[in-house]
Amino acid sequence: MQILVTGGAGYIGSHTCICLLEQGHDVIVIDNLSNSHQQALSRVEKITGKKLTFYQEDILHQTVLERIFNTHTIDAVIHFAGLKAVGESTQIPLQYYHNNITGSLVLLEVMQQYQVKNLVFSSSATVYGDPKQLPITEDFPTSANNPYGRSKLLIEEVCRDIYHADPLWNIALLRYFNPIGAHHSGQIGEDPQGIPNNLLPYIAQVAVGKRESLSIFGNDYATCDGTGVRDYIHVMDLAEGHSKALDKLQTQPGLVVYNLGTGKGYSVLEVLHAFEQVAKKAIPYHIVARRAGDIAACYADPHLAKKELGWIAKRDLHDMVSDTWHWQIHNPQGYI
């Protein structure tokens, strides 16, 4: 199939491109490189030994999208492009709404225009807000308390409306838990700009000597050791989830929603200690106040994806931290 991947140069997109190319798909990437590097795509080609087509363009530009849909006979779209930093979204909400929501609307409109009705959308476990119970199943109530989360919820709703208006659409809303890790080759991985917001890149940068100490945001949560618990999932497992979702779309399922998580939660300290074992060094940390908006614990019930997609996360915490470390030590400055 010919797959258009928006945001394909980014962290999850680049890893997904590997899976798609390895499965023999033709991959067309559109990315404005606002949070990524073209080098990620050259490395994807090197790893797979296959070529992809890259457009350094913005999904907000309808005429550009039309040109791409005119040039290629696209069978399905995987839509990663978006801004993703929760804290930043509270500072510049309009940019988040414009980029994430308007960008998605433009894309969906062009898809409709060209009768391309197969879509995989990057949603997030953030749409569950602060869940009343764990593990989280797909039918849990949704909510959002920041512009980023609201943008994901709204796009999910837009997708539902499109499907209800025209049941020929097939849409998989994938709710990712906490993606970490890197391709096993150490050639591609997560390369945040500036100070990392997320736990794993921060730990990796402390371990490599780029930052002094990890601030742990609170140790007074009602969890095993007081630190926050999350469902960390290896980015290559996540990438494989997208291939399975594309397969599912071929069966014309209508609109489907899947959690992509492992079903296991690990605390900040557990992750830190796992990283120390792999890096064979102590990683300095200190406890600070809770981060606004954080919840105590969050992990998926991944059974629906197993049942309906035949997908399950295969890699464990050791794989996740060792692949992160491998990427970090081989690319201490990220892509440059």
Q: Name the minimum Å distance from CB 199 to ligand WQD.
A: 4
Stretch in the footprint of ligand WQD (CB under 6 A) among 33-41, 158-166, 193-201, 322-330: 193-201
Single residue of 4, 11, 245, 264 touching ligand NAD by CB under 6 A: 11
Catalytic position from the list 97, 148, 202, 258: 148
How many chain residues are in contact with ligand NAD, going by CB under 6 A?
27
Q: Name the minimum Å distance from CB 8 to ligand WQD.
A: 17
Q: Return the residues of window 119-148 that contact ligand WQD according to CB under 6 A.
A: 124, 126
Please confirm, yes or no, whether 266 is among the known catalytic residues: no
Q: Could you say whether residue 32 binds ligand WQD (CB under 6 A)? A: no
Q: Name the minimum Å distance from CB 81 to ligand NAD.
A: 4
Q: Could you say whether residue 202 binds ligand WQD (CB under 6 A)? A: yes
Stretch in the footprint of ligand NAD (CB under 6 A) among 26-34, 219-227, 267-275, 315-323: 26-34
Site string for ligand WQD, 71-100 (x = CB under 6 A): -------------x-x--------------
Q: Could you say whether residue 171 binds ligand WQD (CB under 6 A)? A: no
Single residue of 228, 241, 261, 265 touching ligand WQD by CB under 6 A: 228
Q: Name the minimum Å distance from CB 278 to ligand NAD.
A: 21
Question: Phi and psi (nearest 5°) for 222?
Answer: -80, 70
Single residue of 19, 54, 77, 82 touching ligand NAD by CB under 6 A: 82
d(CA 272, CA 252): 42
Q: Name the minimum Å distance from CB 90 to ligand NAD.
A: 15
Q: Could you say whether residue 187 binds ligand WQD (CB under 6 A)? A: no
Q: Could you say whether residue 103 binds ligand NAD (CB under 6 A)? A: yes
Task: Report the catalytic residues.
Answer: 148
